[in-house]
Amino acid sequence: MQKFQQYIDGAFTDGAAQFESRDPATGRTWAIMPEARADDVNAAVEAAAAAFMSQEWSGMTASARGKLLFRLADLIAQNAQSLAELETRDTGKIIRETSAQIAYVAEYYRYYAGLADKIEGAHLPIDKPDMEVWLRREPVGVVAAIVPWNSQLFLSAVKIGPALAAGCTIVLKASEEGPAPLLEFARIFDQAGFPKGVLNVITGFGADCGTILTTHPKIDHIAFTGGPETARHIVRNSAENLASTSLELGGKSPFIVFDDADVGSAVNAQISGIFAATGQSCVAGSRLIVANTIKDRFLDRLKEKAEAIVIGAPDDMTTEVGPLCTRGQLDTAISLIAASVDQGAVVITGGHPLECEGNYFPPTIIDCTDAPDAPCLRHEFFGPVLSVLGFDTEAQALEIANDTPFGLASGVFTKDLARAHRMIRGLDAGIVWVNTYRAVSPIAPFGGSGLSGQGREGGLQAALDYTKVKSVWLRTSDDPIPDPFVMR
């Protein structure tokens, strides 16, 4: 039985309480986690606030911050495999995915390391001849970063990287579901040489941890990844401290295939788009919208590939789909599919949990031709479930794609360049992938609109979101300022 600790003010300590973490592949307890309560949260925020005001951090040059981030990136790369194994154990995410993803996470820290001394202000051509006016970009302050269990090292990197590059300090709350990788990440961060208190890592539950953190008067910005309902609570909580927010939420992303598309390529992309990460991804292409002229042929190939996917233990490199992280996700999939079938949807393959130990649900495809309002088309499963609709015209495809309150990602497969541009303009989504899917880079902004959130992660814009603008006025005239109360 492994035991993990929280990281506050440069020290590793037990939380006010503890809780058990269960292995999603077996359902058995494998580790003890620290549970942060009010005193722990307050200590973490106070440590971050003190670090933000300290000369050791606030007086550090941007180039020096960048060198620390480069050091952190190197340490992550060196420890990528052990972090991947830990994430696989605690969340059920398969090892072939955690290994590849965490190795790439280091590139995000390298990007923001290089960006740290390139966050610039501006000189204003002011309309007053005896004034010089310029803008300074300064760190926003203490950041509460809250991440879910899936892809947590990536989702924390797109917050920690730009926040530290901008000069902020952070309290990172790992999800109570599978927090082990981020608690271990704190040990790697500790080796990088940052001043104590710059990053603090805790985990815990709603009222005793999350609410206290997001309402704390010394929190200046809240960066959250998760579901819309929790985001609503966070926005309401931020009214207490008037913290700014950036929200990266869920999705019900359309995957649109026109009849001129390369079918083989589109099928492979759809398989990756919905069944990679066992469907537990905010950008999962969970709504296939396919031209009716090729629908049957496309679904035949898709079904064949889906049924050939290897389901198995997450720590086996041959496994392609592992268990869902929680029993709750399994129950959600069962209920949403049952409700959709009641409305006329037809299960093409899958649809029932596997009769085995652990939270295993097979790749599932549901044809919603006769159930265009089925729950499976409206709700985010966070599991390997694909809902299918056909279309006859480009306008119809666009209408179906935008018929959702989410607006995160989308995919378009066509060889017609003019059509691709029309779809790009028309799709209400923060990301449009054309003839590809799930491609990401630290250079490109990531985020959506509507129930998919606000703000962007990745790219220069993310770093700017962790800054505030200060206007500076300098009078250049040597003439005395006239007495404002003497009439002339």
What CATH number corresponds to the domain at position 374? 3.40.309.10
CA distance 239 to 52: 22
Task: Tell me, yes or no, whether 264 and 245 share the same domain.
Answer: no
Q: At what angle do helices 180-191 and 62-78 cross, to 10 degrees?
A: 130
Tell me if 440 is assigned to some domain: no
Q: Tell me the pairing of strands 453-454 and 244-248.
A: antiparallel
> At a CB cut-off of 8 Å and minimum separation 6, what does 140 contact?
166, 168, 220, 221, 244, 466, 467, 468
Task: Tell me, yes or no, whether 174 and 267 share the same domain.
Answer: no
What CATH number corresponds to the domain at position 233? 3.40.605.10
Task: Tell me, yes or no, whether 267 and 245 share the same domain.
Answer: no
Tell me if 481 is assigned to some domain: no
Tell me if 441 is assigned to some domain: no
Domain extent at residue 384: 254-434
- Tens of pLDDT, residue by residue over 45-84, are 999 999 999 999 999 999 999 999 999 999 999 999 999 9
Tell me if 204 is assigned to some domain: yes
Q: In terms of Cα–Cα distance, which of 476, 475, 474 is closest to 134?
A: 474
Tell me if 339 is assigned to some domain: yes
- Tens of pLDDT, residue by residue over 126-168, are 999 999 999 999 999 999 999 999 889 999 999 999 999 999 9
Sign of CA dihedral 331, 336, 342, 348: negative
CA distance 277 to 322: 8
Among left, alpha and beta (phi > 0; psi -120 to 50; other), residue 184 is alpha
CA distance 18 to 253: 37
Task: Tell me, yes or no, whether 264 and 243 share the same domain.
Answer: no
pLDDT along the chain (488 residues), means of 10: 96 96 92 97 98 98 98 97 95 93 95 97 96 97 96 95 98 96 98 98 94 98 95 96 96 97 97 94 96 98 97 94 91 95 96 91 96 94 95 98 97 98 98 96 95 94 96 96 85
Supply the mean pLDDT for the chain: 96
Task: Tell me, yes or no, whether 265 and 242 share the same domain.
Answer: no
Task: Tell me, yes or no, whether 228 and 315 share the same domain.
Answer: no
Task: Tell me, yes or no, whether 213 and 325 share the same domain.
Answer: no
Q: In 3-state terms, what secondary structure has residue 185?
A: helix
Tell me if 120 is assigned to some domain: yes
Tell me if 280 is assigned to some domain: yes
Task: Tell me, yes or no, whether 199 and 272 share the same domain.
Answer: no
Task: Tell me, yes or no, whether 215 and 274 share the same domain.
Answer: no
CA distance 55 to 164: 15
- Tens of pLDDT, residue by residue over 206-242, are 889 999 999 999 999 999 999 999 999 999 999 999 9
Burial of 134 (0-12, 13-18, 19+ CB in 10 A): middle
Q: Tell me the pairing of strands 6-8 and 11-13.
A: antiparallel
Give the count of domains, the chain: 2
Q: Is the pTM value of this prediction over 0.75? A: yes
Tell me if 99 is assigned to some domain: yes
What are the residue numbers of the active site? 248
Q: What's the pLDDT at 488?
A: 67
Task: Report the run of H or E that residue 39 belongs to, with start and end.
Answer: helix 38-53
CA distance 346 to 369: 8
